[in-house]
Structure 1
Amino acid sequence: MAQAQTTNATTEAHGGAHEDVGFPPLKTETFAGQLVWLAITFVLLYVLLSRLVLPRLGGILENRRSTIATDLDDAAAMKQRAEDAGTAYEKALAEARSRAQGLAQETRSKLAAESDAKRKVLEAELAKRLAEAEATISAKKAQAMGNVRGIASDTATAIVERLTGKAPSAQTIQAALDAVKA
């Protein structure tokens, strides 16, 4: 009973008779109007989306698709250029190494030839000096040998004179020296 009094009090406060309060979309009296408004709203929303929003979104998606395709093409081209540059670098490096080895070999050959030439000049000079030294030694030896006979003769004369008290004759000394030499 208390609930009925509360409902009547609420109805009188709103200034009207007692009506059946419920969820408006489920009332059968308003289905036709609701369906008309639904159709109008759907058509307006469809026109708005198909004419304004979807073309803009399609343009944005196509723009992004073309930008991505262009970026991928640019990346592929840059990758190809990088590979070409790497290949060219490797080729240039190989050529530089071969040129460096050629120059080193040429320099070694040149230095070896110069060294051989200097060695031959030095050997020729040393051979000449050796020949001169041998000639000098032979001359000195011959000269010394020539003096040895005179020294031997003088020594033998001095020894015989000391031992015997009398100097031997020069022919006796020469004959003795000739006998020792032979």
Structure 2
Amino acid sequence: MASEATEAAGHAAEAVEHAQGMPQLDFTTYPNQIFWLVVTLVVIYFLMTRVILPRISSVLAERAKTITSDLERAEELKQKAAEAEEALKKAEADAKAEARRIIEETKAEIQKDLDAAMKKAEAEIAKMAAASEAKIAEIRAHAVESVAAVATDVAQEIVSVVFPGKAKAEDIAAAVAKRAKG
């Protein structure tokens, strides 16, 4: 056995001495290397197609599904926001219209109250004016009577001084009244 081992070692040493150059360029080992290369590539291919690529595909599919879902949700939220904005604008317009209506009603009510107060005030003023005119007419009438009485008294004094005992008081009063009328 030792001789066989020695012999094998000797053959190996001879082979190493004869093999000059790089071992990768030794064409005697090419069929073996090609076989293991093909086996390795087939194993890698099956690993890729059966394990790695399906996992990557599922991750990509899940990612695409998530992105699509997020985009759909964003679109829904955008739609809801637009609807909310429209509802807000409508509510604002309705509130403005209601405010205008209330303002117009209030203005009309105030104008109605003002018109009623104005009519009442005008009636009071007309009533007061009529009372004042009646009072003025009464004062005027008394003034005319007073003037007539004073004029009659003055005329009697003058006539009695100028013509003592000749004139009657009725005649003097009639003459003063005739002269006062026109």
TMscore range, shorter length? 0.7 to 0.9
8 Å Cα contact 2:160-2:166 kept in structure 1: yes
RMSD of Structure 2 on Structure 1 (CA): 2.3
Query: In the alignment, what sits opposite 1:96?
Result: 95
Q: Which amino acid aligns with 1:60?
A: V
**Distance between the aligned counterparts of 1:115 and 1:155, measured in 2?**
57
Query: Is 167-176 or 122-131 further displaced after alignment?
Result: 167-176
Length-normalised TM-score, structure 1: 0.81
Deviation at 1:172, TM superposition (A): 5.0
Query: In the alignment, what sits opposite 1:110?
Result: 109
Distance 1:154 1:31, change over 3 A: same
Distance 1:27 1:126, change over 3 A: same
Distance 1:146 1:96, change over 3 A: same
1:63 equivalent in alignment to 2:36:
no
Within-5 A mapping of 1:113-124: 113-124=112-123
8 Å Cα contact 2:155-2:172 kept in structure 1: yes
In structure 1, the gaps of 5 or more residues are 1-14
8 Å Cα contact 1:153-1:173 kept in structure 2: yes
Within-5 A mapping of 1:18-167: 18-159=17-158, 164=162, 166=164
Identity value in percent:
35
Length-normalised TM-score, structure 2: 0.81
8 Å Cα contact 2:148-2:177 kept in structure 1: no
Query: In the alignment, what sits opposite 1:9?
Result: none
Distance 1:159 1:69, change over 3 A: same
| Runs of 4 or more above 6 Å deviation | none
Q: Secondary structure at the match of 1:22?
A: coil
**Distance between the aligned counterparts of 1:149 and 1:43, measured in 2?**
152
8 Å Cα contact 1:161-1:168 kept in structure 2: yes
In structure 2, the gaps of 5 or more residues are 1-12
